[in-house]
A and B are shown apart, each in its own frame.
Chain A
Amino acid sequence: MLKIENLHVEVGGKPILKGIDLEIEAGQVHAIMGPNGSGKSTLAYVLAGREGYEVTEGRVLYKGKNLLEMAPELRAAEGLFLGFQYPVPIPGVSNIYFLKAALNAIRKHRGEPPLDAIDFMKLSKEKAALVQLPDELTKRSVNDGFSGGEKKRNEIFQMAMLEPSLAVLDETDSGLDIDALKVVAAGVNSLRSPERALLVITHYQRLLDYIVPDVVHVLMEGRIVRTGDKDLAKQLEKEGYNEVRDAPQP
């Protein structure tokens, strides 16, 4: 599904990612953990195609295609989804009409006809229920005046609507209390499937109690310093990043 090879990325001339190798297969859930400033969000943004990130070396293959030369909208149309750490408020653009534009653009890319208004509303009701997003929020301006928890639920609602092949979730747990975290995690888990891959980026192990990963990577100073199974996350929580990095590989 996704193959990252020796990826080097600079922001404003400063190296942030210094040779990332990562391979994710369909059906898998990978987690990337790392301290602040390790390059986690940079990786997420580079995958989604945000401007301002210069790839100086390496490549990224997505479904066998060169991901890095695609425009952000093409990546989305090809089934890549980024769950934003800080979802952007867009006053004046209603959530539901934004999603309709997105879904129909993606359907068009797949050669499918646009959903009619009735089917769209039905789908949106069903998916909003998945993350307990109140109907009223689906009609409000995108992320405008949403609480932290509402923004994150809105991200997962969008993911459920767009049914991506690969979802990159950037710190989806930040700013959530435990109840909201459970709702969001349940929403994500309901979207796990053999055809879909997830890359979950997080600072804390807590989220991984609810979204249990197949593979855990530790990212520090722009490199993946350890890779293991879900127990690695628990070890990190107990011992801290530096100890895990410096410990001998098992």
Chain B
Amino acid sequence: MTDTSRQTLLRSLPSSFDTGPQWLRALRVRAADVLREQGLPTKKTETWRFTPVRSLVDGEFSLTEGAVPSIESSLPEGVTARSLRQVLQSEPELLKGRLDLGGAPTDFAALNTALFSDGLWIDVSAGAVVEAPIELVHAVPDSAQPGVVYPRVLVTVGDAAEVMLIETYAGKEAGQLTNSVVELDLARNAKMSHVRVHRNAGLQVGRVDVRQEQDSVYRSTVVTLGGALLRLDVRCLLQGTGAESELNGAYLVEGQEHVDHHTRVEHQAPRCRSQQTYRGIVSGKGTAVFDGIVIVHRDAQKTEAHQENRNLLLSDTATVHTKPHLQIDADDVICSHGATVGSLDEDQSFYLRARGIPEDLARAMLTYAFLESVVDRVSHEPTRARLSEAVLAQIPRADDIRDLT
């Protein structure tokens, strides 16, 4: 990466912020200062070792307006959705302390914090049980110019409220960068199911920060179906006793695509549980990265944390870097982690073929089954079916498999 391209995005940082409430200006100044001091990550940055930052920041990006996602569903009772810009103008105190849920932002999330101009705040009031999913679509606006958008979403879920959020990120050709930050704040006993789909997502760098209070439950399913270059960090802070996080991911990487999923689950309180299951299939010259860390703080006794990443490599030129790890400072915990990288099971393939199933269909059935096991964890049936179909559409002989199910 040349110094000039590295500076391209940093140059768009203003030297002072003069709109919005004081606390927001301070937050933006802090984010900008971090960036000026540390710069954007380079390939020497540990958490970016396997992902070419250059591709994300190369080129002349200009700030594109209109990054507010569209809401594709009608809002049910107990749910409000408001423009961040408007709330920051009229009732900024409502958002104080809620736009830095993950702590002091760094790298691309800091860039978003410094520069986002608008966004969406979805609030689910205490006790509201919302059955129909709330659906957001993030599309890059039509523009011939290379651009960067900074989507920003905050969802606050009140005590004992239940909600499902579906986000779809659809990209553009290279040259359009989406740098998103999604913050989810779960109060006591809140339950949230979060489905995030990346579909040919172009250049994406995203951050999901989740803060969980006592006995809240967060279920995430990330489905990444292609993307020129995609980096997503999902971070959960388990701050209240008995909170539960389930992070699932399925990715399908082909051609020259590069897909990087980072997860970070911090057990800060006792008796919390977390389970991570990421599975991916990589073919062509594709590269997949998984880096997941579970951090168990000293007071987080009776923690139960499990982490698993499994990968299927379908070609000799595909690459997987996987690094699940644990950092445990408590002594009364149950933790496990594991990773596998392999090819399709020849015994399974032979079994199917010995029953008359052609080789290409046998391989497609096994490939689909591998990812379907992740999608199957989505309990909302219509959503599960839609995700299955989205995965299936990427798999050879989809029509034959569809006929069978």
Binding site for B on A (CB under 8 A): 48-51, 71-73, 75-77, 82, 84, 87-88, 90-93, 97-103, 105-106, 109, 114, 142, 158, 162
Q: Are A51 and B346 in contact (CB under 8 A)?
A: yes
Q: Which of B281-319 contact A (CB under 8 A)?
A: none
Chain-A contact segment, one of B9-17, B84-92, B361-369? B361-369
Chain-A contact segment, one of B55-63, B72-80, B110-118, B347-355? B347-355
Q: Are B365 and A101 in contact (CB under 8 A)?
A: yes
Within the complex, which residue of B345, B357, B369 is in contact with A73, where a contact is CB–CB below 8 Å? B357
Q: Are A73 and B365 in contact (CB under 8 A)?
A: no
Binary CB contact string for chain B from 326 to 348 against chain A (1 if under 8 A, 0 otherwise): 00000000000000000001111
The residue on B at minimum CB distance from A86 is B347
Q: Are A51 and B350 in contact (CB under 8 A)?
A: yes
Question: A102–B365 Cα gap in the complex (Å)?
Answer: 12
Other 20 A-B pairs with CB < 8 A, given A92-B370, A105-B356: A49-B353, A50-B354, A71-B359, A72-B350, A77-B356, A82-B354, A88-B345, A88-B347, A91-B369, A91-B373, A92-B368, A92-B373, A93-B352, A97-B404, A98-B365, A101-B400, A101-B404, A102-B357, A105-B361, A142-B351
- 5 nearest CB pairs, A to B: A92-B369, A76-B356, A102-B355, A72-B353, A88-B351
Within the complex, which residue of A97, A114, A162 is in contact with B355, where a contact is CB–CB below 8 Å? A162
Q: Are A90 and B356 in contact (CB under 8 A)?
A: no
A105-B404 contact, Cβ under 8 Å, with A88-B347, A90-B352, A92-B373: no
Within the complex, which residue of A91, A93, A106 is in contact with B356, where a contact is CB–CB below 8 Å? A106
Q: Are B369 and A76 in contact (CB under 8 A)?
A: no
Cβ–Cβ < 8 Å partners of A106 in chain B: 356
Question: A101–B361 Cα gap in the complex (Å)?
Answer: 9
Q: Are A73 and B356 in contact (CB under 8 A)?
A: yes
Q: Are B405 and A102 in contact (CB under 8 A)?
A: no
Cβ–Cβ < 8 Å partners of A109 in chain B: 356
Q: Are A92 and B347 in contact (CB under 8 A)?
A: no
The residue on A at minimum CB distance from B355 is A102
The residue on B at minimum CB distance from A87 is B351
Q: Are B348 and A90 in contact (CB under 8 A)?
A: yes
The residue on A at minimum CB distance from B369 is A92
Q: Which of B17-38 contact A (CB under 8 A)?
A: none
Q: Are B357 and A97 in contact (CB under 8 A)?
A: no
Does chain A have a CB within 8 A of B107? no
Question: A97–B392 Cα gap in the complex (Å)?
Answer: 15
The minimal Cβ–Cβ distance linking A22 to chain B, given in whole angstroms, is 20
Question: A66–B352 Cα gap in the complex (Å)?
Answer: 22
Q: Which of B248-276 contact A (CB under 8 A)?
A: none
Q: Are B354 and A93 in contact (CB under 8 A)?
A: no
Cβ–Cβ < 8 Å partners of A142 in chain B: 351
Question: A76–B85 Cα gap in the complex (Å)?
Answer: 65
Within the complex, which residue of B348, B368, B369 is in contact with A88, where a contact is CB–CB below 8 Å? B348
Cβ–Cβ < 8 Å partners of B362 in chain A: 73
The minimal Cβ–Cβ distance linking B369 to chain A, given in whole angstroms, is 3
The residue on A at minimum CB distance from B370 is A92
Q: Are B357 and A84 in contact (CB under 8 A)?
A: no
